A and B are shown apart, each in its own frame.
Chain A
Amino acid sequence: RKEVEQDPGPFNVPEGATVAFNCTYSNSASQSFFWYRQDCRKEPKLLMSVYSSGNEDGRFTAQLNRASQYISLLIRDSKLSDSATYLCVVNLGSSNTGKLIFGQGTTLQVKP
């Protein structure tokens, strides 16, 4: 089993739609969780951290479920510019190991 797993998609949605991605992780000792965004042929960039209580940044909401070992990303009112690959990232173990593990990514295509 992969340490971090995502549905690769692609998710094809119309503008204005709400879309949700899930990510599961295998190591119950994982300490911190993040979502990154990667545009085609570009480098990944941090989208948002995921906190235990859930957190929101504009149209983006991230949730963490430690009991079921998954995190989610919800995008409301999708824009064309949201088209990208969304990477789930987990820090395995203690906070200073330096080992952030990336999921394979979920591709989102927002259509006009």
Chain B
Amino acid sequence: NAGVTQTPKFRVLKTGQSMTLLCAQDMNHEYMYWYRQDPGMGLRLIHYSVGEGTTAKGEVPDGYNVSRLKKQNFLLGLESAAPSQTSVYFCASSTLAGITGELFFGEGSRLTVL
């Protein structure tokens, strides 16, 4: 019953460092998403993908890149981390996103940029 798995769960970076967050889902879902959650801001969509090989920008895409080379994986990259990217990152997946509305989330990745 893995569902959506995010790695790593915690990471501390220095300003300017790069890193990649990995999201893997075993439910054969078409749609995958990356959100960030900050106090008082709720969940904000960074990037999403409606299928293997496709990606699209969300509300707050700047400073992030994504790739969906395999249907089950969705990678979020930070090329040059900034303190403003300190946040909790959630990956999610779904079947028909708008119709059912049920996103299945990973447990989150807590990133601190010093």
Q: Which of B42, B48, B106 interacts with A102 by CB under 8 Å? A: B42
The verdict on A71 contacting chain B, using a C-beta distance below 8 Å, is no
CB distance from A77 to the nearest CB of B (A): 26
**Which of B17-25, B67-75, B76-84, B97-105 makes up part of the contact surface?**
B97-105
Chain B residue contacts of A102, Cβ below 8 A: 35, 42-44
Q: Main SS of chain B's interface residues?
A: mixed
Q: How many residues of A contact B (CB 8 A)?
A: 28
Quick check: which of A14-22, A43-51, A52-60 contacts chain B, the rest being far away? A43-51
| A interface residues, Cβ below 8 angstroms from B | 4, 6, 8, 31-34, 42-46, 49, 87, 89, 91, 94-105
Q: Which residues of B contact A (CB under 8 A)?
A: 31, 33, 35, 40-45, 48-50, 56, 58-59, 90, 96-103, 105-108
* Contacting residues, chain B, for A43 (C-beta < 8 A): 90, 105-108
CB nearest neighbor in B for A104:
B42
Partner of B107, one of A42, A49, A95: A42
Does the CB pair B107–A97 fall under 8 Å?
A: no
